[in-house]
Structure 1
């Protein structure tokens, strides 16, 4: 007779999940300590919610005392394009592969609910569904469940799926058979550590989010440090470098779920077009996209950094137009971009025209430092 766990796997595959593994909720006791070290070093940056929810993250039973099993599911979003090739086209912006399609939270959560509802009916036990937004440490639990291992870049890697996959989790009050944990297969490889443009890995298996381009362009709400801007290049939302160079991705398949496939208009959007987005146009372009969560001002901040790194003086008028933007975040990066694109005399003329009128201290400082 087919076991409940095997039937559960078949149900998950029917929903488009590539893998399903099961762990004890207490199977990753080391995760809380590692999170504590990360927070003690202040490496979370603006992500204060990590500190606020640390106790719940350290133990799924704090999140839900009735949990007896945690089911981890993987869905591939493997790209059809070479993610790294886009970096060479400096007049276009690079959006992380995961954000080129529909918001994965919406896509995966609906499918997870279908699997969880089936499990609840079969076991007559309660379930809870999580996709990345709840205080649950999916990656250590997925490693304990045998879905993959946390590589030197701290992301999950699978021998079958590489690292281009999303994680979802179901907590169940039912006692299910556990899978064996996965071991580390990184060996002596340093590709992910050495490729990082901003040197965000202080050591293997450690990440300083404050230097990570994904954090800086998505989560960070303020001005990006001057020392890091040049290294960001034309990455305007996220960064794929450490994933893209992983040798295990030779086993990664292309995304099967149509909603996770890349939108053609987002693969290589022109920086000149993006710089002209007001809030309404930004929301319209990124409807149902993960990019929408950054907000227009942060996104245009990133676009201006890419413009400043383009070396294309033809983009200077787009930056100059944004010197009058209502957002100080945008105005500051417009100043920086122009300081890199214009001859000294032309930039000095703009400084004489605009700097004295600036009321925001951070923008005024950009004029002084440029």
Structure 2
């Protein structure tokens, strides 16, 4: 164990499950035709693709049959699905969109682009705990908005947001509500219909599925404006040849989660709590962001007093502990965390915070060894400083 690297960056991506790999290999071997082709092999590929699409939607709690059936639009991942939602649901120029101040960069960046395209964009603030107060949305919705976008669970702190209440408020004011559920899928139970949202973004590689596939789930009757053109696939809403094997991989990963959901959630939470407890005993002044509220079971964002996050991150990498300074999309950036800034954290906390995140395969021995290495690296860095 001492010489092996310990991976505690599952919020960035997770290792693909062997069952997922096997299902994809079988699919590549059996369904190699273009699912849009009209010959028999094409029809067979199409049938397998639609079976996977239906299974994914069902696992996520969507309505899959009858006149009220929801739509599942397959994409290349969470970033594309979030962009499709923001641009496709925000209405014409002049419309108003509200996004929370703790969104992932692919939502925040899309909202910034909207503002450059003559849309009005407002930020929904977040409290010190990392949770949005729904009454703040009530205040913002005194003017009409076309779209509200609030993530289900934060990618940095793991803080869960009160989506059903937020969705109800948005609908009272005749606004559409979109949620980025990328980090929550495969970690906590999710039911699309029970959340009450109009659109939900998911991806496969955060829950031991393949990289390169995500989806946007749309409630029945919601109208989406496409961002890509030139094909009739997926009702013209996201043209391009679908990858059947990736869809099967996503289906398999979600079905594995459904079978093991209660055990996985409990196990990851116990390991996370054990990890935090070990560090809190040995590191005086250590702070756990969003500790007082409901969090994802695998996420731990910690402020280490007296050290600089980038230097500590590099020291841990050398010690064989893989973690993160924030979102994987911005991990190469030295900019402070947008989430911690929005929460009103002190500069010293922001500058010393690292994110640790567990996967379904993380073991207790790894957690214990990682904590030992982190404590040693921290004390060494403090002594050198």
TM-score when scaled to structure 1? Answer: 0.27
More helix by share: 1
Q: Looking at CA atoms only, which structure, 1 or 2, has the larger radius of gyration?
A: 1
TM-score when scaled to structure 2? Answer: 0.26
